[in-house]
Structure 1
Amino acid sequence: MALDAEERPSQPITKFESMLKTDDVYFFDSEDFEDIIHHYLNNGKIALAKKAIKIGLQQHPGAIELKLLQIEVFVFENKLEEAENMLDDLQQLDHRNEEIYIQRANIFSKKDDHIGAINLLQKALDLTDDGFDIYSLLGMEYLFMDDFEMAKKSFMKCVEFDDEDYSSLYNVIYCFEFLEDFDGAIVYLNDYLEENPYSEVAWHQLGKQYFSKKMYKEALSAFDFAIISDDRFIGAYFEKGKVLEKLGLYNEAIDNYETTITIEDPTSHAYLRIGKCHEKLGNEEMAKYYFYHTVHEDPLLDKGWLAITDFYYRLKNYDRAAYYISKAINIDSENPVYWKKSGKINAAIQRYDEADFAFKQAVDFGNYELDTWLLWAFVNEKNENYESAIAILTQGKEFHPEEADILFALSGNHSLLGDIKMARDYVTEALILNSKGLETFQINYPKFCATDWMQNILEQYKNDSK
């Protein structure tokens, strides 16, 4: 596998590249070639790496390490048969070379045989005193298998080898989070911080765990320690801002978001959060200013367009809201939240056909909330598509069988179709579940409620409430 090139190979690399530009042939020892090849592989310069391997093997045809690098390139290029043939030859020469097992494991992994890859990596561990890279590969194989417990243990081993291996530390926390073991993550990070008290990364991750558990004061302290450890750590300021928002300290949150802008170039996410804070503070013009900055900074950030949509929706400026929700949908056309918002906006301006389509899309993309079914049925009712409204409510009832609101709406639509028996059955069932919707039902369906049967029901409930 490719390793980080040290400072030492800078001269061989310069010499090698000079050789490529001339007809001269320079001699390098095999270790120089290894460093040159590692340098090119680490920088994604595969063509130059292949040239260095070819020339290296011409000068050192028996160099096993160079052949292993050739195999690594074969695996990268999916030339698995060539790689396996070379490995077979090398294993006869050096059957205790752990790199042979590592490359075989890479081939198994490419073939989606992750158990086979893990077995080979375990053999490689038995042959080396330095298992850092092997444990990292093991962790990735376990992640491929969704075995987050074993992946977590493997990445923990990497952190034991190198406590500044933040990539592995992030992977450990990722596994804790996937397992929803936030308490375990907190214990692990606190133990890590006992040994590394100035690790801004660990403090930042600890703060995020406390945030997940809604332990906002603890999260605030953790982010403060992250900032003490590195006062230019943008992530800590941003996360601290989110905590302050949760605590209702919007001006302090704005200060932290603005700090991220002063440290580096402004981001759309920072502008969005600042806008949200001003909105909470009632600073409508400032909120609008930052929301527009959000989409100017990143026109593809659908959440920015949604924020502007919500802003105008709350002001009941539905035409503007409709314009901006279409922007969000153009960016993420399969987001049920955006389609539902579109449905509500179009219903508010009585564009019932557009609202019908929007609610259908919302449901098709996975939004099964109670009010989605009720609103979708409502726009069909307004279009006098009573049978469609009944079909929608019947489907919604499968998701919300104990909700009286759906039953009241079914009763009302059956009454509008003239099916009084079904209307009576549904309103009776609704009243058994919850009579709180009765007053609204009277307002929505006055003709049915004026019938003698419903008048008797209403009189009965009026007496019962005395």
Structure 2
Amino acid sequence: MEFSHRDDHNNLSLTRFESMLKTNNVLFFDSNEFENIIQHYLENGKIALAKKAIKMGLQQHPSSTNLRLYKTEICILENDLEKAEEILDELYELEPSNEEIYIQKASILSKKDQHQQAINALMIALEFTEDQDDDADLFSLIGMEYLFLEKYADALSYFEKCLEIDMHDYSALYNIIFCFDYLNKNKEAINFLNNYLDENPYCEVAWHQLGLQFTSLKEWKKALAAFDFAIISDDTFVGAYLEKGKVLEKLKCYNEAIEFYEMTLTLDEPTSFALLRIGHCHEKMGNLDLAVDFYYKTVHEDPLLDKGWIAITKFYNRSKNYQKALYYINKAINIDCENVAYWKLYAVINHRLNFLEEAEVGYKKSLDYGNYELETWISRADILTNLGEYEASIINLMQAAEFYPENAEIEYRLAGLNFMVQQNEKGIFHLKNGVLINQEYQFIIKELFPSITELQAVKNIIAVTEKS
């Protein structure tokens, strides 16, 4: 339980305990007092103090089942599963009908990725519960285990049981919609939410979720109406204002969208997301000075938000102010040097400035961090070719071919490069492959490798394709 100023007895117990820790005096507490003290520390994340309370509690009450269960909880938190199981086995011999033992066993099994066994343990716990609230907690835990197993329909049924017990259990409500989303059942989610709202018509969370469902179906008017009802239900609900702003953006109602984004700035601390969207709206309307001003505010508010840096970089890129674009993408990279989107922009901008070596580094970093788009492989290959790094370009394209087999753009380039390094047999092989895949890409040879078009082998292959 959580202590409050109104609960003098529990406050006194906590004060006495903390006073005891500062002195050499050992005071006596009954087991219930220890349980309340431990629960207080656990709820406030004070694990070290909880452990001290458990240790002292067990010294004074070594046979207390609840104190030993708290010890298993700490063992599980610290991943000492073997010790936790040992204690639970001892407690099972003493109290085989204690549902908390099965809940702790389920927690251990879940940590071991044995989720079906965890569900089985929780089902046994259900047999011993006498309180409806405890049932709801167990239904929620079972639902979570089914989520781990990716059995969303089963998870859904248990989260629905939670709502049957407490219709204001918004955690269960969110999980239900999460399951519907994974099952691609938007219409079923909408029916569920409508039924729920019939019983709880002023639930801003349900209206908000209904609006999101309509948004995913691109039913914009219905989405706007749902977000309006969410705002009517709670006019401080920031999420509803943001989502309504996003829908209005989709409808190109930029001024109205800005109004709703600005509302969020008055209701709460400014969010980088709202500032960014306001910037986008101003840019769409041609208010470029205002747009860039909000992009600056975005990165100032949250320097770690990559979308802010990308927006300001792309703004200057579109304005063909490549030097400023390069300046801001360099600032972004200095903050997060492993962001693949930053490196791709860095490469593109340097490429436009004809800084080929820097562009090649950008494309290489993009690939290193997981951007495997064909365009990235091709751009890097062409830059290496221009720099005369034929062997490196071949290696790059061979790696690309693993992701994009039988790709004409890759094959023609490999053909040209192999001819350039005097690997004529390989050049012929790749040229024939390219021709078989798509004859229309023959221009790659003429544009990138004009010197090899005079080779007889190349002429022969191209002549055959022209005749056909």
Q: Is the contact made by 1:303 and 1:328 (CA closer than 8 Å) also made in structure 2?
A: no
The amino acid of 1:105's aligned partner reads: A
Deviations 1:112-151 (A, max 9, x none): 4333322211110111143111122223333344444433
Q: Is the contact made by 2:208 and 2:227 (CA closer than 8 Å) also made in structure 1?
A: yes
Which has the higher mean CA deviation after the structures are superposed, 135-144 or 409-418? 409-418
Cα distance between partner residues in 2 of 1:82 and 1:385: 60
Other-structure match for 2:88 = 87
The 1:307–1:97 alpha-carbon spacing in structure 2 relative to 1, beyond 3 Å, is same
Other-structure match for 1:134 = 138
Q: Is the contact made by 2:255 and 2:281 (CA closer than 8 Å) also made in structure 1?
A: yes
Secondary structure at 1:279 match in 2 = helix
Secondary structure at 1:163 match in 2 = coil
1:27-176 residue pairs with structure 2 within 5 A?
A: 31=32, 33-50=34-51, 52-53=53-54, 63-129=64-130, 130=132, 131-176=135-180
Secondary structure at 2:320 match in 1 = coil
Cα distance between partner residues in 1 of 2:260 and 2:4: 39
Cα distance between partner residues in 1 of 2:182 and 2:421: 50
The amino acid of 1:162's aligned partner reads: D
Which has the higher mean CA deviation after the structures are superposed, 334-343 or 276-285? 334-343
The amino acid of 2:121's aligned partner reads: L
Secondary structure at 2:105 match in 1 = helix
Other-structure match for 1:227 = 231
* 1:12 maps onto 2:9 in alignment: yes
1:138-217 residue pairs with structure 2 within 5 A?
A: 138-217=142-221
Cα distance between partner residues in 1 of 2:150 and 2:71: 31
Cα distance between partner residues in 1 of 2:393 and 2:62: 78
1:330 CA drift (Å): 3.6
Other-structure match for 2:257 = 253
Q: Is the contact made by 2:3 and 2:11 (CA closer than 8 Å) also made in structure 1?
A: no
Cα distance between partner residues in 1 of 2:399 and 2:72: 58
The 1:32–1:264 alpha-carbon spacing in structure 2 relative to 1, beyond 3 Å, is same
* 1:355 maps onto 2:359 in alignment: yes
Structure 2 length-normalised TM? 0.82
Other-structure match for 1:381 = 385
Q: Is the contact made by 2:412 and 2:444 (CA closer than 8 Å) also made in structure 1?
A: no
Q: Is the contact made by 2:245 and 2:260 (CA closer than 8 Å) also made in structure 1?
A: yes
Q: Is the contact made by 1:143 and 1:151 (CA closer than 8 Å) also made in structure 2?
A: yes
Q: 1:292 aligns with which of 268, 293, 296?
A: 296
Q: Is the contact made by 2:4 and 2:11 (CA closer than 8 Å) also made in structure 1?
A: no
1:413-432 residue pairs with structure 2 within 5 A?
A: none
Cα distance between partner residues in 1 of 2:246 and 2:291: 16
Q: 1:303 aligns with which of 300, 307, 316?
A: 307
1:262 CA drift (Å): 0.8
The amino acid of 2:105's aligned partner reads: R
Q: Is the contact made by 1:302 and 1:331 (CA closer than 8 Å) also made in structure 2?
A: no
1:291 CA drift (Å): 0.8
1:44 CA drift (Å): 2.0
The 1:370–1:65 alpha-carbon spacing in structure 2 relative to 1, beyond 3 Å, is closer
1:294-373 residue pairs with structure 2 within 5 A?
A: 294-373=298-377
The 1:299–1:8 alpha-carbon spacing in structure 2 relative to 1, beyond 3 Å, is closer
Which has the higher mean CA deviation after the structures are superposed, 285-294 or 334-343? 334-343
Which has the higher mean CA deviation after the structures are superposed, 292-301 or 198-207? 198-207
Cα distance between partner residues in 2 of 1:47 and 1:391: 55
Secondary structure at 2:323 match in 1 = helix
1:408 CA drift (Å): 5.5
Deviations 1:404-425 (A, max 9, x none): 5445655665676788998898
1:166 CA drift (Å): 1.6
The amino acid of 2:283's aligned partner reads: E
The 1:164–1:422 alpha-carbon spacing in structure 2 relative to 1, beyond 3 Å, is same
The 1:70–1:181 alpha-carbon spacing in structure 2 relative to 1, beyond 3 Å, is same
Cα distance between partner residues in 1 of 2:50 and 2:321: 60
Cα distance between partner residues in 2 of 1:221 and 1:402: 50
Secondary structure at 1:159 match in 2 = helix
Q: Is the contact made by 1:405 and 1:437 (CA closer than 8 Å) also made in structure 2?
A: yes
What is the number of equivalent residue pairs in this alignment? 459
The 1:212–1:328 alpha-carbon spacing in structure 2 relative to 1, beyond 3 Å, is farther
Q: Is the contact made by 1:98 and 1:128 (CA closer than 8 Å) also made in structure 2?
A: yes
The amino acid of 1:46's aligned partner reads: I
Unaligned runs of 5+ in 2: none
Which has the higher mean CA deviation after the structures are superposed, 206-215 or 435-444? 435-444
Structure 1 length-normalised TM? 0.82
1:264 CA drift (Å): 0.8
The amino acid of 1:337's aligned partner reads: A
1:16 CA drift (Å): 1.2
Cα distance between partner residues in 1 of 2:414 and 2:111: 55
The amino acid of 2:11's aligned partner reads: T
Which has the higher mean CA deviation after the structures are superposed, 53-62 or 125-134? 53-62
Cα distance between partner residues in 1 of 2:71 and 2:171: 27
Q: Is the contact made by 1:344 and 1:375 (CA closer than 8 Å) also made in structure 2?
A: no
Which has the higher mean CA deviation after the structures are superposed, 294-303 or 49-58? 49-58
1:347 CA drift (Å): 1.1
Q: Is the contact made by 1:148 and 1:179 (CA closer than 8 Å) also made in structure 2?
A: yes
The 1:71–1:400 alpha-carbon spacing in structure 2 relative to 1, beyond 3 Å, is closer
Deviations 1:322-377 (A, max 9, x none): 22223333444343332222211111111111211221222233323232233222
1:32 CA drift (Å): 5.1
Cα distance between partner residues in 1 of 2:444 and 2:13: 83
1:216 CA drift (Å): 2.9
The 1:88–1:157 alpha-carbon spacing in structure 2 relative to 1, beyond 3 Å, is same
1:252 CA drift (Å): 1.6
Secondary structure at 1:197 match in 2 = coil
1:431 CA drift (Å): 7.2
Cα distance between partner residues in 1 of 2:370 and 2:258: 34
Query: What value does the CA root-mean-square deviation take over the aligned residues?
Result: 3.9
Unaligned runs of 5+ in 1: none
* 1:283 maps onto 2:284 in alignment: no
Q: Is the contact made by 2:14 and 2:37 (CA closer than 8 Å) also made in structure 1?
A: no
Cα distance between partner residues in 2 of 1:72 and 1:430: 63
1:428-447 residue pairs with structure 2 within 5 A?
A: none
Secondary structure at 2:257 match in 1 = helix
Query: How many percent of aligned residue pairs carry the same amino acid?
Result: 50
